Amino acid sequence: MKAMKTRTKDGTGTGAVRSMRAVRTRGGFSLRVDVRALVVIVVLAAVAAGAGIVLIGSGDYAMTPGEVVSTLFGHGTFQQEFIVTDLRLPRVLVGLLVGAALGVGGAVFQTISRNPLGSPDVLGFGQGATVGALVVIVLFQGGAAVVAGGAVVGGLVTGVVVYLLAWKRGMHGYRLVLVGIGSAAMLTAAAQYLITKANLVDATRAVVWMTGSLDGRDWAQVWPLLVVCGLLIPLVLGHGRALRMMEMGDDAAYALGVRVERTRLVLMGCAVLLVAVATAAAGPITFVSLSAPQLARRLTRSPGPNLAPAAFMGAALLLVADWIAMDAFGDRQLPVGVVTGVLGGCYLLWLLVSERKAGRI
């Protein structure tokens, strides 16, 4: 195996230079590794792991990070093992998987639409999942599993409708964004209408679900998320090169041998399902899918979708936000959706100002 270092322009317009390492095997297989992106992934993974350990140790029964790590390796007391394994670890795992799913979904849609605002939050897929869940809660008084199924179905139906409405001899990024914004507005109105038709108990339950929270999550939410993320995220990562080519435009991607429409359909389907399942598990967590890909791109200073850094950024963002929601307000614990909404709103304003100064909007 041979390694060769190269230094290339990052393509972001900043004039920065990034280090690449080309790894070649004797069998002729070669792989280019972006050293900076790899470092960013390692740092984000460490941040997510640290936030997860702190979260597991937080609560009425406080534990030090050392006690948490010792218990995770099977060396804790019976009480510690019960609190960590049965009560707190599932919540952290759901946060990691939901954040990763939202980060990858946001990166896919922002790349396909070639627009930093083209995230599932803006395009209506999260709202579609919300309406699906509210239909089950308000009209059928379904349980938690049925509500989760309704959210997945609502997200998938919204994805199909948006795709069909945005299709006109191909998929154009601005058309996708405009159709998505219109769909999001209509679905938000539908969700509000359903709440007005609900009785007090169902309306309270619906509002709590719509806030977005990791509280009370158990292994029943972990396993479906783990299966979906384990199948779809590697599939999306495998299409990373084609997605990078599509970012240059359909004509350029066609010239480079990419089956554009087929690739776009597969990636959009994966992204919609990831967002729908994440919403079903934790409720509509806003702004993670919008901010994670952009923050990852700025840290890596690398063009392209940055799928893996976006996944780790989403996981780190969601766990840090959950830690803030639990510990930053004293005895009052907030749903994580409230914190991500505040932080994401500030980020959105900054993004709009920076894009306006750059002359892109």
Tens place of pLDDT for every residue, the chain, 361 residues? Answer: 444 444 445 444 444 445 566 556 665 555 666 778 888 899 999 999 999 999 888 877 888 888 888 888 888 788 888 888 888 899 999 999 999 999 999 999 888 888 777 788 888 888 888 899 899 888 887 787 888 888 889 889 988 888 888 877 666 667 788 888 888 889 989 988 888 888 888 888 888 888 888 888 888 889 989 999 999 999 999 888 888 887 777 677 777 777 877 888 888 889 999 999 999 888 888 888 888 898 888 888 877 788 899 999 999 999 999 888 887 776 677 888 888 888 877 877 887 787 677 766 6
Specify the pLDDT at position 3.
46
Q: Which residues contact 64 (CB under 8 A, 6 or more apart)?
A: 57
Q: Which residues contact 86 (CB under 8 A, 6 or more apart)?
A: 218
Q: Structure pTM?
A: 0.86
- C-alpha 57/C-alpha 243 separation (Å) is 40
Q: Could you give phi then psi for residue 169, rounded to 5 degrees?
A: 55, 40
| Burial (CB count within 10 angstroms: exposed 0-12, middle 13-18, buried 19+), residue 1 | exposed
* DSSP collapsed to 3 states, 15-50: CCEEEEEEEECCCCCEEEEEHHHHHHHHHHHHHHHH
Tokens of 18: 């990034």
